[in-house]
Structure 1
Amino acid sequence: MSSEQRLLRTGAAVVSLAGLLLIGLGISGIFSDEPEPGPVAATNPVPSVPGVPSGKVAAPMRAAKPTAVYIPSIGVAAPLMELGLDAQGAIENPPFDPPNQAGWYRYGPVPGQRGAAVITGHLDTRSGPAVFANLKNVKRGDQVQVMRADRSVAVFVVDKVEHAPKRSFPVRKVYAKLTYPGLRLVTCGGTFDRQVHSYVDNTIVYAHLAAPYYPKS
């Protein structure tokens, strides 16, 4: 299989992921016209790592399984589970319960290694907001910290936030063959289409590895 064929196959899986997320995440607005509830409270909020240069791209880190993701600016502190492919060849979704659960696509790069690592999370559930309810509020320069099994932390800095229509998901940008360690965070966004019970957009955060961090304790 050529590299282009592999990319297109991956693209089909990503588009399927977008569709599945959009269907599964539009539940909270179906049964009520009440305002959407606030974001999920972080169970273990952490501060930004000081002294990290936002413009610097760090060298790749050694491979280590990611275990949690922290986004200090929006109060996210969530465990990470591994996500594979389902029977239809689409990326699996994290479970709705607990809502504060994100997932890492295990067939892609490990966060901290060279390439575009992908982490996904739900926007909301039937009962309220989920882990990436406030992902749209992330700004350029914000930190995204990925805790790893070797106790190291891959500290990423956000380059941009994109709101892409579901029908034109930017496959090649999300799954780009990067020459540096990158990260993409993906969830649903935009308005909710009650006719098809799905959101019309995806929110995508692009980030680069700025520094490895090794906590003393």
Structure 2
Amino acid sequence: MAQPPGHKAILTGAVIVSVGGAALIASGVAGLLGSGEHPGESVQATAPPSPAAHRPVKTFDVPEGVVAKPMKAARPTGVYIPSIGVAAPLMELGLDGAGAIENPPLHEPNVAGWYRYGPVPGQRGAAVITGHLDTRSGPAVFAALREVKKGDQVQVVRADRSVAVFVVDRVEHTPKDSFPTRKVYGEVGYPALRLVTCGGAFDRAAGSYRDNTIVYAHLALAHHPKS
């Protein structure tokens, strides 16, 4: 897999406050999320937390065309996409020994991963959540991500029981060899979310999918339960 932007700073322990500008890698994160093309790949990410106790079961009423103010940081624990039936725990993903983003483990197909060296979902900036399209045993957490449409909600439950409710702005399908690194990881001045998985045709010769499906969304509501 290609190395994500800012990987040198991450490996030296520096705090990343921006991934915009010249530090971006033009080739993108071509192998960001694989599917069944990496069976047996070593995964060193932290173990997934238990699903949140207060998970959303339906869409929230959100103001149209409004971007909510940034939320305080709180560890994301689950992601829910009502329109395609996704309800999955989130694990933290870091970097492997080569400086590439870790994959969620293939033996946990219903687990998605949050890139912990980027913004927390709900904070200012573009938070990134990744998940497998499939595994050798069948569909995985983001198998239907390509069916998400503009206006759909993506709900991220956090450790403080708050819910960051994002609204989808657009869905993009792009070849892996021209991954839009700047758009996915680049600095933005509002709370944003990117969901990424594999897509397109499976290239048997290369042993991988040819494309990525990318969902772009903005924070529309910060929900805080009263009790």
> What is the TM-score when the length of structure 2 is the normalising length?
0.80
- Structure 2 stretches lacking a partner, 5+ long: 1-8, 10-18, 40-54
Map 1:57-68 → 2, pairs under 5 A: 57-68=67-78
Aligned residue number for residue 81 of structure 1:
91
Corresponding position: 1:142 with 2:159: no
48, 56, 59: which is aligned to 2:59?
48
Aligned residue number for residue 137 of structure 2:
127
Corresponding position: 1:152 with 2:162: yes
Aligned residues: 195
Identity, % of aligned pairs?
Answer: 71
71, 80, 87: which is aligned to 1:70?
80
Rounded to whole Å, the distance in 2 between the matches of 1:26 and 1:189 is 12
Rounded to whole Å, the distance in 2 between the matches of 1:76 and 1:148 is 16
* CA distance 1:191–1:47, change in 2 (3 Å): same
Aligned residue number for residue 188 of structure 1:
198
Q: Which has the higher helix share?
A: 1
Cα RMSD (Å) of the superposition? 2.1
Offset at 1:98?
1.6
Aligned residue number for residue 21 of structure 1:
33
211, 216, 219: which is aligned to 1:206?
216
Corresponding position: 1:172 with 2:182: yes
Rounded to whole Å, the distance in 1 between the matches of 2:32 and 2:192 is 24
Aligned residue number for residue 44 of structure 2:
none
For 1:111, the aligned partner's letter is P
Aligned residues of 1:123 and 1:189 also touching (Cα < 8 A): yes
Offset at 1:54?
3.5
Deviations 1:161-204 (A, max 9, x none): 00010110000000121100000000000011111111100000
For 1:7, the aligned partner's letter is L
Offset at 1:3?
6.0
Offset at 1:4?
3.5
Rounded to whole Å, the distance in 1 between the matches of 2:75 and 2:218 is 18
Offset at 1:45?
7.5
Offset at 1:25?
3.0
For the residue of structure 2 that corresponds to 1:167, the secondary structure is helix
Corresponding position: 1:114 with 2:124: yes
- Structure 1 stretches lacking a partner, 5+ long: 29-43
For 2:219, the aligned partner's letter is L
* CA distance 1:102–1:137, change in 2 (3 Å): same
Rounded to whole Å, the distance in 1 between the matches of 2:206 and 2:32 is 12
> What is the TM-score when the length of structure 1 is the normalising length?
0.84
* CA distance 1:122–1:87, change in 2 (3 Å): same
For 1:21, the aligned partner's letter is L
